[in-house]
Amino acid sequence: MFYSAEVLAGFSENMSSINYKINTDSVNIGGGDSQNSTNYKNKDTIGEIATSNSDVTNYKLKAGYRQTSDVSVTTTPTPTPIPSDTGGPGETKHIIPPIISNIIVADITFNSAKVLWDTDEQALCKFYLGESADYEIGIFSEISFFFKHSEGLTNLLEGTIYHFKIFCMDTNRNESETSDWVFETLISPMPQNVNNLRTEPGDKQITLIWENPKELDFEGVRIVRNDKFYPSNPQDGVIIYEGQNNSFVDINLENRKRYYYAVFSYNKAGIFSSGAIVSETPRAPGEVAPPPPEIVPVEPPPAEIEKITINDFDFFLQKEKLSVLEGKIQASAEKPLTVFLNYAKVPEILKTIMVTLKKGNEYFSFILRVNKEKTGFEATILSPVEPGIYPLAITILDYKNQALKRITGELKVEGNKILTKKFSWKDGLPYIYILLAIIIILYLLVRLRERRKKEETYNNTKFQILNSNDPSFVPLISGTTEGKKNSNFKTDNNKNIIPEELKTPQLSPPEKEQNEIKEQQKMTDLEGRERKDFPDFRP
């Protein structure tokens, strides 16, 4: 690759020439002075040669021997030249263009993709993108030389084929280009509709209430109002609300006039659901609601419509196809349920297919809308939470909102099964052993506590008796009952009970004197032993 800049250059101090070309490897500037400069070296050539290290990114180049102007040049590392088969002795020239390989289109989603490729040498590449081989979307250019390259593409259209090609140039301006490549973005399935859409009429206003889907990529809802009939798509009427709330009040309406609404949920990719529909009439307090308009049936219906039965519809529960037996569809509670009708089974005059589910005394209706691939009409709803049998009706309308056919069936909803294991008494043996061990431990702890309490009481009583100088002193033993008869106890005049062996014996004066002499003798012997064992001890 080359760079160019406009500089002032010449052979004298007064520079006047312009339009000067600068190459990335060297600059040859005319001049005849042999003096060297800090910006370049004077070689044995007619002009001056300015050089620099190849790994320098930015440097200043003086544009002439006696220069008065500077120019800033940006360079990239120059690869080692490859010897040319046609060059003369000692000459090297790289003329082989970069090889583009390993082209991969990865991470394709509904609206994004990533293209990766390699080159066998450092190269600067351009990425051409379009919905045709004209690449009308644009060109994406790199700003540096790389061996490995990638281009992230966003804001693409779902289900769309894109064309691209890659152009690369190495540091020696050798160029290469790929042929036309294509890839296709994914098609997002319709997201789940809102659940339990209801209306509350008021004076010149209608309140809409619903439950948002619990899908992870849920982004919001759009409410469309129509004065004539149910909106068939997110643009069929007046958009009165868009957001993530669960209710909306439509005001400034005309009383006793019927309004038709469709609530479309949409995901992060901007894909709308088929639509939940409802109609209502605002009215003043006390006014009776007018009856809904009757949908006029077509007699006789077209032959293609007449032969359609509920068996022509497919029902999927989280991508698992459900069987239809005698007009009954069996599904699990609170799971996404998709209703699908093949596009080829209905004529072009068809406008709308509505599916209505009855829950108690309430009716909840949804539109089966044509999907993006135009392979069929579909709608995804949430099956009822409560197990039971729910009447199901499918109404096919033409472009005049006339009923071509009404198909009935039943949705049998079962509760979510929880696997349980039959309990056996053998399974409970470990728990029984643990319970018995706990009971035994608790019993032993209680008995041990009672025993310690009795020992403390006995020792306290004995201590009080032995340390009392009053022979008539008899302490009260706690936990006993006055007047209790027991062979091991005797009662004194104070009605206190004391064990017989703890009674202080009544001694005569000579016996008392002998006991005192014995006690003194014991104390003397004890002091003698202490002095023998502890000679340094002095009391």
Give one DSSP letter per residue of 174-231, joined into a string.
Answer: -EEE---EEEE---PPPPPPPEEEEEEEETTEEEEEEE----TTEEEEEEEEESSS--
Angstrom distance (rounded) from CA 317 to CA 337 = 5
Check residue 310 and give its pLDDT.
93
Angstrom distance (rounded) from CA 73 to CA 457 = 105
Angstrom distance (rounded) from CA 122 to CA 98 = 8
Higher pLDDT pick, 344 / 498: 344
Nearest residue to 407 (alpha-carbon basis) of 310, 276, 494: 310
Encode pLDDT of 409-459 as tens digits.
999 998 765 434 455 666 778 888 899 999 999 999 998 988 888 888 777
Check residue 304 and give its pLDDT.
84
* pTM of the complete model: 0.51
Check residue 91 and give its pLDDT.
52
Check residue 433 and give its pLDDT.
87
Encode pLDDT of 373-417 as tens digits.
788 899 999 888 888 999 999 998 887 788 888 999 999 998 765
The answer to whether 275 touches 265, Cβ cutoff 8 Å, is no
Region of residue 241 (phi > 0: left; psi between -120 and 50: alpha; otherwise: beta): beta
| 232 contacts: CB under 8 Å, gap ≥ 6 | 262, 275, 351, 352, 367, 369
Q: Which amino acid is at 30?
A: G
Q: Which two tokens stand for residue 359?
A: 């829950």
The answer to whether 213 touches 194, Cβ cutoff 8 Å, is yes
Check residue 177 and give its pLDDT.
96
Question: 165 has which bridge partners?
Answer: 128
Angstrom distance (rounded) from CA 89 to CA 87 = 7
pLDDT-above-90 percentage for the chain: 40
What is 418-455 written as a DSSP string? ---PPP-GGGGHHHHHHHHHHHHHHHHHHHHHHHHHHH
Cα 226–Cα 227–Cα 232 angle in degrees, nearest 5: 35
Question: 377 has which bridge partners?
Answer: 341, 370
Angstrom distance (rounded) from CA 145 to CA 193 = 49
Q: What are phi and psi of 459, to 5 degrees?
A: -65, -40
Check residue 78 and give its pLDDT.
42
Angstrom distance (rounded) from CA 263 to CA 228 = 16
Check residue 277 and give its pLDDT.
96
Question: What secondary structure, in 3-state letters, does 267-300 show?
Answer: ECCCCECCCEEEEECCCCCCCCCCCCCCCCECCC
Q: How many CB atoms lie within 10 A of CB 252?
A: 7
Instruction: Give 284's Cβ-side CA count (13 Å radius).
Output: 0
Q: Which two tokens stand for residue 283?
A: 């009215």
Encode pLDDT of 277-291 as tens digits.
999 999 999 888 888
Angstrom distance (rounded) from CA 159 to CA 181 = 17
Angstrom distance (rounded) from CA 181 to CA 127 = 11
Instruction: Give 375's Cβ-side CA count (13 Å radius).
Output: 6
Angstrom distance (rounded) from CA 414 to CA 419 = 14
> Using alpha carbons only, how large is the chain's radius of gyration in Å?
51
Encode pLDDT of 157-166 as tens digits.
878 999 999 9
Mean pLDDT of the chain: 76
Check residue 93 and give its pLDDT.
65
The answer to whether 518 touches 525, Cβ cutoff 8 Å, is no
Cα dist from 222 to 192, 260, 379, 438, whole Å: 13, 14, 16, 63
Higher pLDDT pick, 15 / 228: 228
Check residue 415 and give its pLDDT.
75
Q: Which two tokens stand for residue 228?
A: 């004539």
In this predicted structure, the answer to whether residue 150 has a pLDDT above a threshold of 70 is: yes
Angstrom distance (rounded) from CA 195 to CA 221 = 12
Q: Which two tokens stand for residue 525?
A: 């012997």
Angstrom distance (rounded) from CA 79 to CA 83 = 12
> Beta 181-184 vs 138-141: how paired, if at all?
unpaired
Residue for token pair 């005698």: 326
Question: 105 has which bridge partners?
Answer: 115
The answer to whether 244 touches 220, Cβ cutoff 8 Å, is yes
Helix, strand, coil percentages for the chain (3-state, nearest 5): 15, 40, 45
Q: How many CB atoms lie within 10 A of CB 306?
A: 11
In this predicted structure, the answer to whether residue 509 has a pLDDT above a threshold of 60 is: yes
pLDDT-above-70 percentage for the chain: 68
The answer to whether 200 touches 206, Cβ cutoff 8 Å, is yes
Nearest residue to 479 (alpha-carbon basis) of 499, 502, 465: 499
